[in-house]
Amino acid sequence: MTIVSPACESAPLLEVVVLHARDAAAATAGEADRLLLVAQPELGGRAPEPSVVSAVLRETDLPVRVTLRIADSLLLEDSPYDRLVTLARTFVELGAEGVSFGFLDGQNDVDHRTCTALANDLAGVPWSFHQAFDAAFDARRAWRDVLGLPGLDAVVSAGSTRGLARGAEELIGHAATNPRIAALALASGGLDGAQVPWLVRAGIRQFGLSDEVRQDGSWTKSYVDPAAVRAWRLLLDDAHQLALGIPVD
């Protein structure tokens, strides 16, 4: 008998990465649940200009999280703390629902102190630990370190720096053995439709799409395709129903 995590009872959340207002309109039309606004995705993502944040928010009524990263490094010392706080508050004042950030320390462990301080300075603002999480040296320790971070409600992970093609099994293993991890995990990074039922059965209820829903997979030559977003929406909903034992028409 297949044992389904209680977290499966929650409907899956679909987050789509957008670069600008046109992407936001397309993702909204495709029935995404939340948008993640980034700049320079080819560099791992950077904080966008406030004007871009405003334009995106005018184009959608969906919750929008904004990437809060201003340097290549994942160390706080390379990102002035006061500037991060100011940027985050600006994004929230403009209407962003939350932010996405994450820091590691010199040993490639989660920088619990810095993440806690920033989350406390943004008290009441929900946030995601972005894909830097997978760069942590020890995944088990990293999951342990993030479970108590204030305000955190999503950890973007592919289970591997090489994406879900390599890391899905590990991510499923973590989620299946700890419902708190399942509730936080946001599976993203080369998501494949064949992986979805297994991720859902493990209790993962958050999913992120980036170039998977762009017309030719290019950040610079294409836009989000609403039909592709809708297809993923249906796929996630069907996987959720099947996990609950509800027949899919």
Contact 63, 97 (CB under 8 A): yes
Q: Classify burial at 230, counting beta carbons within 10 Å of its beta carbon; exposed 0-12, middle 13-18, buried 19 or more.
A: middle
Percent of the chain at pLDDT above 90? 82
For 43-52, 55-64, 70-79, 100-109, which range has the lowest pLDDT when averaged over its residues? 70-79
Domains delineated in the chain? 6-242 (3.20.20.380)
Residues 121-172: tens digit of each pLDDT? 999 999 999 988 999 999 999 999 999 999 999 999 999 999 999 999 999 9
Instruction: Check residue 71 and give its pLDDT.
Output: 83
Instruction: Check residue 216 and give its pLDDT.
Output: 83
Distance CA 92, CA 21 (A): 17
Contact 187, 204 (CB under 8 A): yes
Alpha-carbon torsion, ordered 172, 12, 127, 179, to 10 deg: -40
Residues 39-66: tens digit of each pLDDT? 999 888 899 999 999 999 999 999 999 9
Contact 65, 96 (CB under 8 A): yes
Alpha-carbon torsion, ordered 187, 192, 193, 195, to 10 deg: -60
Say how far residue 100 (Cα) sits from the centre of its chain.
8
What single DSSP character describes residue 71? Answer: S
- Mean pLDDT value of segment 162-184: 96
Mean pLDDT of the chain: 92
- Mean pLDDT value of segment 162-185: 96
Instruction: Check residue 78 and give its pLDDT.
Output: 61
Under the banding of pLDDT at 50, 70 and 90, the label for residue 196 is: very high
Instruction: Check residue 3 and give its pLDDT.
Output: 39
Hey, how many other C-beta atoms are within 10 angstroms of the C-beta on 86?
A: 11
Say how far residue 235 (Cα) sits from the centre of its chain.
18
Instruction: Check residue 5 and give its pLDDT.
Output: 45
Distance CA 69, CA 209 (A): 19
Q: Which two tokens stand for residue 174?
A: 């973590």
- Mean pLDDT value of segment 82-95: 96
Higher pLDDT, 103 or 220: 103
Contact 98, 124 (CB under 8 A): no
- Mean pLDDT value of segment 7-30: 91
Hey, how many other C-beta atoms are within 10 angstroms of the C-beta on 57?
A: 21
Instruction: Check residue 120 and give its pLDDT.
Output: 97
